[in-house]
Chain A
Amino acid sequence: MNHLLYIDSGGGSYIIQIIIATALGAGYYFKFYWGKVVFFFKKDVKSIDQCEQDKQ
Chain B
Amino acid sequence: MNKINNRLPSSFKDPSGFVFKLNNTIYRQVNKSYCENYNILINNGLYEYLANDGYLISHEETHDVDFQTIEGYKIIKPKQISFISYPYEWCFDQLKDAALATLRIQQKALDFGMVLKDATPYNIQFLKGKPVFIDTLSFEKYITNHPWVAYKQFCEHFLAPLCLMHYTDIRLFQLLKTYIDGVPLDLTSRLLPAKSKLSFSILSHIHLHAYSQKYYANKTVKSEGKLSLKGLQILVQNLINVTNSLTIKKQKTEWGFYYNNINYIAESELHKKTIVSSLLEKASPKTVWDFGSNTGLYSRIASEKGIETISFDIDEIAVNTNYKLVKEKKESNILPLILDLTNPSANIGWANNEKDNLERRGPANLIMALALIHHLAISNNVPLLQIASYFHRLGKWLIIEFIPKSDSQFQRLLLSKKDIYLDYSCEQFESDFQCYFSIIERIPILGSERILYLMQAK
Contacts and interface: CB of A to CB of B under 8 A. Distances in A.
A12 B235 contact: no
Contacts of B14: 6
B294 interface: no
B219 A11 contact: yes
Contact of B209 (A7, A9, A13, A21): A13
B422 interface: no
Interface residues of A, number: 26
Interface in B318-336: none
Interface string B10-42: 000111100000000000000001100100000
A2 B37 CA distance: 12
A15 B216 CA distance: 9
A28 B234 CA distance: 8
A56 to B, nearest CB: 46
Contact of A18 (B150, B152, B215, B227): B227
A25 B16 CA distance: 34
A20 B205 contact: yes
B151 interface: yes
A33 B149 CA distance: 31
Contact of A11 (B16, B33, B221): B221
A18 B231 contact: yes
B221 A14 contact: yes
A7 B149 contact: yes
A17 B146 CA distance: 11
Contacts of A1: 223-224
B117 A12 contact: no
A2 B149 contact: yes
Nearest to A5: B149
Nearest to B120: A7
B230 interface: yes
B386 interface: no
Nearest to B226: A18
Nearest to B151: A17
B442 interface: no
A22 B231 contact: yes
B220 interface: yes
Nearest to B203: A20
A14 to B, nearest CB: 5
Contacts of A7: 13, 117-118, 149-150, 152-153
Interface in A9-42: 9-25, 28
Contacts of A2: 117, 140, 143, 146, 149
A52 interface: no
Interface in B183-225: 204-205, 208-209, 211-217, 219-221, 223-224
Given A6-B14, A20-B238, A21-B232, A13 B227 contact: no
Given A3-B33, A4-B16, A9-B152, 17 more contacts: A1-B223, A1-B224, A2-B143, A4-B15, A4-B33, A7-B153, A8-B152, A9-B149, A10-B213, A10-B216, A11-B221, A12-B216, A13-B212, A17-B148, A17-B227, A18-B231, A24-B235
13 contacts: A3-B33, A6-B117, A11-B216, A12-B209, A12-B217, A13-B151, A13-B155, A14-B147, A14-B226, A15-B212, A18-B226, A20-B204, A25-B230
Interface of B: 13-16, 33-34, 37, 117-118, 140, 143, 146-153, 155, 204-205, 208-209, 211-217, 219-221, 223-224, 226-227, 230-232, 234-235, 238
The 7 nearest A-B residue pairs measured at CB: A11-B221, A13-B152, A12-B216, A12-B212, A12-B213, A21-B231, A16-B212
